C-alpha cells in the first residue's frame, strides 16, 4: 500500500539521527528549469517515441541520419542555458547542513553543481553533456566546440584528431555505465542511512536498483515523484506533490531534524 505524504509539517522520524544521505535524482528535478523529461505525459519520448532510437548506441554508430537528428536536437537544447531551480538549490543547501551527503544523478545537465553542490559529491551516473567523446580514440573535448561546428553547418561532426564519430560524453542505451562511477554509487547506496529518490521514474537499470541496495542495507527510502515507480512499495514515504515545492520543504524539515539530533534533541 502506497505511503503518500504531502509533507504537511509532520515529524520526519526516518530522519532522526541521520548523518549519511544519498540523493538519487532524475529528469523530473530539472523540468522546472525548462528541461523536458523523457517519459512523463509531455516527455520527449512520449510525444515522439521514434526519438528514443537516436539514444541507442548501435543506432548512433550505424545511422548517420540518427546522428544528424541527435545533433540538431542538442544544438538548440534548453539545457545549455538552463538555470538551477528551487529543488537544486535546496539540495545544495541541505549538503551544507548534512555533511555526509552525496548526489547520484541520472541527469547530464550539470545543474546540481551550478546550484552549489560540491562537484566531487555529485556522481553523474549517465555522464555529462558538457563534453563530447570520440567513439574511436576516446578523446574528450568541450561540447561547446562541437556545438559551434554544428551551428556553423556541420550536420555530423567527426573527431578532429582521428576522424571518428563524436557523441556527447553521456551513456546511451546499450552502453555500460563507467565502472568506477557505478562502484562508487553502489558504495554510497549501501552505506547511506536515507536515500531520497527525486524526479526519477526508477525504470532505468542499473541506477534504479540502487534504491533496492540501500533498503537491503537498512536505509530508509523516500520517493518524490509525480508518477508511481517500481520502488514505491519499498519506500517509507512517497511524495506526489510538485518537486519544486516538495524538495525545498523536505530539505528544510530534514535539516531541522538533523540539527536537533546533532544538538542532542
Say whether pLDDT at 113 is over 90. yes
Task: Name the residue among 156, 214, 160, 176 with its Cα closest to residue 23.
Answer: 214
| Secondary structure of residue 184 in the 3-state scheme | helix
Gap between the Cα atoms of 87 and 245, Å rounded: 8
224 with 6: CB under 8 angstroms?
no
Show me where the domains of the chain are located.
Answer: 1-35+84-126+176-265, 39-76+128-170
Chain centroid offset of residue 214 CA:
17
pLDDT band at 142 (very low <50, low <70, confident <90, very high): very high
Active site residues: 126
- pTM for the complete prediction? 0.88
Say whether pLDDT at 261 is over 70. no
Gap between the Cα atoms of 131 and 144, Å rounded: 8
Q: Do domains 1-35+84-126+176-265 and 39-76+128-170 have the same CATH topology?
A: no
Instruction: Report pLDDT for 8.
Output: 47
pLDDT: which is higher, 257 or 36: 36
Which numeric CATH code is attached to 1-35+84-126+176-265?
Answer: 3.40.50.1220
Task: Name the residue among 87, 98, 103, 251 with its Cα closest to residue 188.
Answer: 103
CATH value of 39-76+128-170 in 3.40.50.12500, 3.30.1600.10, 3.50.50.60, 3.20.20.60: 3.30.1600.10
Q: Which residues pair with 132 in a beta bridge?
A: 141, 168
Gap between the Cα atoms of 55 and 59, Å rounded: 8
Amino acid at each position: 500500500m502506497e505511503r503518500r505524504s504531502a509533507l504537511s509539517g509532520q515529524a520526519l522520524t526516518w530522519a532522526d539521527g541521520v548523518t549519511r544521505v544519498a540523493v538519487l535524482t532524475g529528469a523530473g528535478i530539472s523540468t522546472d528549469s525548462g528541461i523536458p523529461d523523457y517519459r512523463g505525459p509531455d516527455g520527449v519520448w512520449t510525444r515522439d517515441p521514434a526519438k528514443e532510437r537516436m539514444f541507442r548506441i548501435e543506432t548512433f554508430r550505424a545511422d548517420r541520419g540518427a546522428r544528424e537528428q541527435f545533433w540538431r536536437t542538442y544544438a538548440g537544447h534548453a539545457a545549455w542555458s538552463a538555470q538551477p531551480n528551487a529543488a537544486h538549490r535546496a539540495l545544495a543547501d541541505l549538503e551544507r547542513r548534512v555533511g555526509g551527503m552525496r548526489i547520484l544523478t541520472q541527469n547530464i545537465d550539470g545543474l546540481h553543481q551550478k546550484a552549489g553542490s560540491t562537484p566531487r559529491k555529485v556522481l553523474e551516473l549517465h555522464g555529462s553533456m558538457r563534453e563530447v567523446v570520440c567513439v574511436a580514440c576516446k578523446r574528450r573535448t568541450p561540447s561547446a566546440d562541437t556545438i559551434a561546428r554544428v551551428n556553423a553547418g556541420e550536420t555530423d561532426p567527426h573527431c578532429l584528431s582521428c576522424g571518428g564519430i563524436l557523441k556527447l560524453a553521456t551513456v546511451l542505451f546499450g552502453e555500460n555505465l563507467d565502472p568506477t562511477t557505478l562502484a562508487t554509487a553502489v558504495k554510497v547506496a549501501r552505506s547511506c542511512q536515507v536515500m531520497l529518490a527525486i524526479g526519477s521514474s526508477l525504470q532505468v537499470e542499473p541506477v534504479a536498483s540502487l534504491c533496492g541496495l540501500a533498503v537491503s542495507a537498512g536505509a530508509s527510502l523516500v520517493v518524490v515523484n509525480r508518477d508511481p515507480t517500481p520502488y514505491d512499495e519499498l519506500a517509507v514515504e512517497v511524495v506526489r506533490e510538485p518537486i519544486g515545492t516538495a524538495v525545498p520543504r523536505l530539505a528544510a524539515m530534514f535539516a531541522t531534524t538533523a540539527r536537533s539530533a546533532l544538538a542532542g534533541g
